[in-house]
Structure formats: C-alpha cells, structure tokens
Structure 1
C-alpha cells in the first residue's frame, strides 16, 4: 500500500512527448469549462450536472469511467471581494492555493511549468500539478490527483482557470479519482 506522500512524489513530471497531449487536453478542457459555465438546461438541473446530457454534449471526455467510480459534479456562483488578478494568482501559485484552500487541499506540488503565460500575467499559463484533496470526514478517503491547470483570459476580459486529469499519461496510475474539466470563471 502506497502512502499519499509517496504517491505524490512518485508521479513524474511530463516527458517531452507528453507535452503536446497535455496542451491539447488543456485547450479542450478550457473550451468545455466555458461551455458548461454558459449553459443551463438541459445540461444542468438546478446546480447539478445531468450526466446523460453531459455525455451527449461532450462525447470526447477523458475516457470511459473506470469500474467503481462515480461522478460528482456541481456548480456555484459567488461574489468574492478581491481583485480578479489576485484570485488568478492564488489559483496559479501552488503554495498560495494549498494554503488558502487548506481545508480541502492537504498536499500539492507543481511538477512542471509548460508555460508561464504572456505579458507579465498568467494568460496562457499551463502547469502540471499533483494534489491530495480531503473532506473533513473520516468516512471519505483522500483523493490524489495528477492534473494540468490552465489559465486563460477570455475575449470579454474575464479569466478562466481549468483543471483536467492527466492520469492516462502515467503508467499504471493508482487512481481513485479523476477530474473532468473543472475550474472557475472569474469576472
């Protein structure tokens, strides 16, 4: 049995041949996040994702659901009293992100930076990360993930930060959790 620290350390940085695949996944995930954020019915029933409609709308996905996995998807809107640039910076800096969200993120590390962005900001920044997510309950096991995080400024001036699992790039990943395109739109 591998402990979480060993698992996070055992996940290697991406190879050169992985990088184009990661870029393609990140771009597709950003498109998916933007579409999901802007669509209501029939994709969303209240604030919960309709799985059948999701499969029809996004047939490519990240592959078939592994045996024993279940889907969890929801969305929320909130007003955060903070400059949008600061929010983007928190999400893109693994140390700030894991500190601010310490109740959910027990460990996190950046494995590779594929792009730092352009023009002195995070527009176009792409990182490969690993993290351990936790729920404050002894009944829910932690979830270790290997993912790409991509940040992009949208045409309307808003920002989006999206995560997408990269477990398919690891040989025999001991994955208990896979993240579909997930993230936030910051206006």
Structure 2
C-alpha cells in the first residue's frame, strides 16, 4: 500500500499534525490505516517502517522541513518518489504556519510531461493546461486524503473539468479550494454531454 507524503514546515503547526493524520473517510474506523507518511527526515527511509502513519494527540516528532517552502517539499518529493515503491506518486500534503490558525493544508499535485494528445473538454479546452507543473490546492484538512483518489484513481473525464478547468471557481477569497463543491460538480458531470475528441497532433 502506498501513502501520501505529509510535510510539516512550521513549529507551531506540529500539534495539529496528529489531527490531519487521524482524519478518515466516512465509513472508516479510527484504527483503519491512515493515508499519510509523516516526513520527519530529509533522508529517504529504506522501507515503509521508517515513516509514521499515525500520531497520538500531543505526541512529538522531528521535522527537517521546518522553515521549508512548499517548493522545497515538492522538489524533495519528486527526487525521492521513484526511488521506492511505497510512496504515492505526484502528490504531497504540507502542514504550514497557516494550518495552525485555520486548519487548512496544502495539497499539491504534480502533472508530469507526457507524449499523449491532451484531453479536450467543451468550455475548458485542453486540460490540464500545463504539464511538468505542480497544481496547489489549499483545503480544509479533512479533505486532504481524498485527493489521491481523485487524481490517481479516477477517470480524467470526471476529475479534470472540476479540479483543473474550474479550480479558480471553487477557490474562495481566502484562497481555500472547496473540495465538496468540486466533488459535487464531478458527480453531476456527464462526459456524454461535454466530451469532444482530442485533436490529432
């Protein structure tokens, strides 16, 4: 089983990390496996036992990424993710100083270059619009563990219009992405109504 890398970049956010790691989807039990690997060291563990997947309230931990930027975490993840087979590719979660104030976190998804023709959607054009790019979403923390399913295990016809095409529409004045609204749009979206073939390049 793969897990998403979770970084903590602010000392004041450490007490909140246990809450992020304890979040579960509806129907899951508290003792079900969590979605995240807590990244404490900038040295990649040799196996999955080197990562914590849960914390107790008040439990302390170390982080070599205190003071790191979102871009620092992205770069480290890209460099390390293909060296082992237990990390969820192309997605990370970052708990930062703002997280301690409003319980939001960064979810960052990477779209690599590919040689395929782009997916084209009526009203949106080609999605995603850029490759070799990180797409960043600040979300209420309990939604963070849904993103790997959306990006890595769902069909583009459902996910891309909401999460790429309407990303700005679902982001409020505080910069927080409304995952629930995006998910509702995805569930209501009918590919038969919107799909047009990708251009032949």
Task: Give TM-score scaled by structure 1 length.
Answer: 0.27
More helix as a share of residues = 2
**Structure with the higher strand share, 1 or 2:** 1
**Rg larger in 1 or in 2?**
2
